[in-house]
Structure 1
Amino acid sequence: MIAITEDWCGDAMMNTPILMRIAEAAGMEIRMILRDQNLELMDQYLTNGTARSIPIFIFIDKNGEERAVWGPRAARVQEFAMGLKAGLPPKEDPHFAKEQKRVIEKITQAYTKDRQLWKEVYDSLKNVLTTI
């Protein structure tokens, strides 16, 4: 499988170690590539057709054919993050930057400590792999 990622990405920070554990147990080889150095590939997997959101995990068979794609977030993790972001003021608001930083800190803290979020990622990845 191919993982499109970057070391600065909070979602990659949480999702990639979970993927690596699954891959290790399954004997699956992982190739990590950096998003910003591989935009031609990244642009084939845009979120909502516009966003270069990562990580993106591309599962391929032994013939190099794409079998499944996962990312950038498990559905329930997306709901959690979007729920926090929903309370942000408009970007024009002078408090936006401060509030956005606070939301990112909350998301980061949850990604590093909330085992339920980890389980959501694990279950989501497992569900994708069972379709292959």
Structure 2
Amino acid sequence: MNLMQWFEKGLTADEYITGMKVNQAETNHIFEQFSLSDDERDKLSTLKDKGLKAIVLTEDWCGDALLNNPILLKIAAEIGMEVRFLLRDQNLELMDQYLTNGTSRAIPIFIFINGDGEEHAVWGPRAKQIQEKVDYERGQLPSQDDPDFKEKQMAMYKKLVATYQVDEAIWHTVADSIIAKLKK
């Protein structure tokens, strides 16, 4: 399948969010609370009505998706970009073309396409600054063979997800990262 066919196969934002079993309230919270800054809107002005579309590879259980997806939807609304969601685990043929570091099925992945269905840009799974924060937190964990590793790893993820839901600076870091990728 080409990218336009993948796009057409995807769920609308309403279909995706309505069908969420995990993180629906958290996703909606960020969507309701986040607003693009004037500077972000200015940066996006050249992308308005360019016919861009976004394919989002995601899963509702993903903490990064609950942060990034609603921010993408705000950007999309600002520039008139259609967005479709594909569940990663049901679309591995596409996912495996967009592996992080060539090995990881990390999500979300945003595949931006033009009106002809050609790839314009790819973003994800995290903004660089957020990745650095996650890497730092991972560096604080005990070794994987430590009996407390799993418990501490889960606590770390819960802490990150809690921060994602309230830290507006993180929201704007994500928005700026997506916007920079779109403008390349």
TM range (shorter): over 0.9
Q: What corresponds to 1:23 in structure 2? A: 76
Query: Structure 1 CA distance, aligned partners of 2:98 and 2:142?
Result: 29
**Superposed counterparts of 1:41-80, under 5 Å:** 41-80=94-133
Q: CA deviation at 1:28?
A: 0.4
Q: What corresponds to 1:107 in structure 2? A: 160
Structure-1-length-normalised TM-score: 0.97
Q: What corresponds to 2:173 in structure 1? A: 120
Higher Rg of the two aligned structures: 2
Per-residue deviation, residues 90-113 of structure 1 (Å, max 9, x unmatched)? 111111111111111111111111
- Paired positions, count: 131
User: What are structure 2's unaligned runs of at least 5 residues?
Assistant: 1-53
Identity of aligned residues (%): 53
Q: CA deviation at 1:130?
A: 1.1
Q: What corresponds to 1:3 in structure 2? A: 56
User: What are structure 1's unaligned runs of at least 5 residues?
Assistant: none
Q: CA deviation at 1:11?
A: 0.3
Query: Structure 1 CA distance, aligned partners of 2:101 and 2:63?
Result: 19
Query: Structure 1 CA distance, aligned partners of 2:101 and 2:160?
Result: 21
What is the identity, as a one-letter code, of the residue corresponding to 1:38? N
Query: Structure 2 CA distance, aligned partners of 1:69 and 1:89?
Result: 33
| SS of residue in 1 equivalent to 2:96 | helix
Q: What corresponds to 1:39 in structure 2? A: 92
Find out whether 1:129 has 2:173 as its counterpart.
Answer: no
Query: Structure 1 CA distance, aligned partners of 2:159 and 2:84?
Result: 30
